[in-house]
Structures are given as C-alpha cells and as structure tokens.
Amino acid sequence: MSHSVFIDGEVGTTGLQIRERLARLPHIALRSLSDTERKNPDAKRALMAQVDAVILCLPDDASRESAALAATLGDKAPRLLDASTAHRIHPDWVYGLPEISPAQAAAIRAAKRVAVPGCYPTGPILFLRPLVDAGLIPADFPISVNAVSGYSGGGKAMIATYEARTGNDFELYGLGFEHKHVPELQHYSGLTRRPIFIPSVADYAQGMLDSIPLHLDLLPGRVTGADILACLTAHHAGSEFVTVMAGDAKDRLEPQALNNTNRIELRVYANEALRQALLVARYDNLGKGASGAAVQNLGLMLGVPVETRLAA
C-alpha cells in the first residue's frame, strides 16, 4: 500500500534531507507544490486534503499557520508531523521521541499530530528521563547540559555565514539561559528544576555532542557510574537506534562519526575515586536530531518500514 506525503518546506535543510530519505521508498509517494503555489494557502489546503501525511519543515509561525490550515479540513485532515519548535510541549501534540518509553512509541503510532524533538534536547532527554524515572537522579537535581553542533543546525543565516567562510571557528551562544529548547528539555526529562543549557557551534557542517557532568556524591543513595550505566542499558535494550556504552577515559570524541544516520550513542564516563561522572551523547543533528527522527516517526505513524539513513 502506498502512502502519500507532502513536505511543507521541502526546500530547507531538514526538508531536503527528509525528501532524500523518503524518495527511495517505493511505498511513499511524495507530493509537492510548485514554487509559485507553495505559499498559496488555497493550493496548500487542497493538497493537504489529498495526502495521508504532511511534514512541516517551516519556521515556528509558519508551522502554526499550516497546522491551523490542516485543521480546517476536519475529518479529512492529514496526519501532521512538525519539525519546528512550535508544538513540542503543546498538550494536543505527541512528542516524537519513541525511546522515552514503550508507551510513547504507541502514542506516536496512534497520533494525528506529532512534534519532532529538537536536536539539542534529544540526547539529554534520552539520558535523563530514565534516570529520573528510576530515582537515580532527583527531579529537582541541578543539571547542566553543554552541547556543540555543526552549523547546519543554525538555520539559513548561520549556514550562509559558514559557507561563506566568515563564521567563527567556535562560539558559545544562548548565554541568557533562555534557549528555545530549554522548556522541551526540562518537560520531557521529568525535571522540576530548570536545567542550565549552554549550546555552541563549530566550523563543521553536521554532528553533535551533548555532555552532562554529575557530582555523584550529591546524588542520593551512593549512586555509582555502574548504576547509571545499568539503568540506561536496561531502558534502551533492544532499541534500533540507541546504543549505551561505558566510556573509556582515553576516548577522544569527535562529533561527526554518526553523520547521515539516525543512530545515537550514549556514553557513561565515571571516576568512582573522585565521585564524578560525565554523560555524553553523540549523534547527527540532522539525523536523530532532525530529519532521521522525522522519518522514524513517520514510519511509526503510517505503520510502514522507512529508511532513516541518507544514501551512501
């Protein structure tokens, strides 16, 4: 059975990668609007009425407008998958991170509207939610997340700057502690205390490292690195895309090793003598952090196998 899909915003970075992944699938029929019609609400609404699913790859306000337009179709509205920030903590949208729990995967399968997670929060949530649920990290524990991403995650202006070779080699930003991903990170990690999140960008196209430092002696019950590793290993056992592993103190992690895949590695580093630990997630900000995750969710929603990798 073939399923028809319209990518609203297919000319952007995320949309182009989603299109490339889906174009190889015989059971997915991609539908498009011409350049002259893609901003015409009547043409867009007419196409929405003809497809099974719409993937929104738009700025936040435009995503809200397209979602509202789809809603006017009533029972004929397609299933929506939003890759913007607009609906990630909206109560009427299901959060598209199936590895949170089996119940989350089931909710995505049944949902009419799914919000794709942000690139930066994906790794920390996959670490923190199981640990908070298991009581190894209290919900009110002070958490800090430091992250570095390739410039492709920064939107058209940042991409243009770096491709013109005028961007900085490395820079911190979001230093007002109000990055737009923080509400999502806090909500789905199960934290009651607002985490500190400091993002950064470096002069390479794609790939991401998130790191969370922990003082083990501040955790209740004399938690060890082995406890953390065991909890995460059990939670993510059988996952197709999440790999949990013990970190080696001799590691030298670079962020691009998983580019063009939907895989994510969760590493646990610990020094029991010093009672310190570091949780590090590595993944592609355009893969599991965006396009790959969107395609994974679409497969669940439509009940079909999908290809989450880019062609080699």
Query: Which CATH number covers residue 262?
Result: 3.30.360.10
81 and 137 share one domain: no
- In tens, the pLDDT along 18-31 reads 999 999 899 999 99
- Does residue 307 lie in a domain region? no
Q: Where are the alpha helices (DSSP H) in the chain?
A: 13-22, 41-48, 60-71, 102-110, 119-133, 155-163, 182-189, 225-235, 292-302
- Does residue 42 lie in a domain region? yes
Identify the CATH number of the domain in which residue 10 sits: 3.40.50.720
Backbone angles phi, psi at 213, to 5 degrees: -80, 145
For residue 214, what are the β-bridge partners?
Answer: 277
214 and 90 share one domain: no
47 and 151 share one domain: no
- Does residue 309 lie in a domain region? no
Q: Give the type of residue at 251.
A: D
> Residue-wise over 204-215: b if at least 16 C-beta within 10 A, else e?
bbbbbbbbbebe
Q: What is the DSSP letter of 96?
A: -
How many domains does the structure of the chain reveal? 2
44 and 83 share one domain: yes
Residue 1: per-residue pLDDT = 72
- In tens, the pLDDT along 281-298 reads 999 999 999 999 999 999
Q: Which residues are catalytic?
A: 119
247 and 225 share one domain: yes
Domain hosting 29: range is: 3-117+290-302
Residue 1 CB-density burial (10 A; 0-12 exposed, 13-18 middle, 19+ buried): exposed
Residue 307: per-residue pLDDT = 82
* Statement: residue 311 has pLDDT above 90: no
- In tens, the pLDDT along 36-95 reads 998 899 999 999 999 999 999 999 999 999 999 999 999 999 999 999 999 999 999 999
Q: Give the contacts of 111 (CB within 8 A, at least 6 positions apart).
A: 79, 93, 94, 301
- Does residue 97 lie in a domain region? yes
* Statement: residue 312 has pLDDT above 80: no
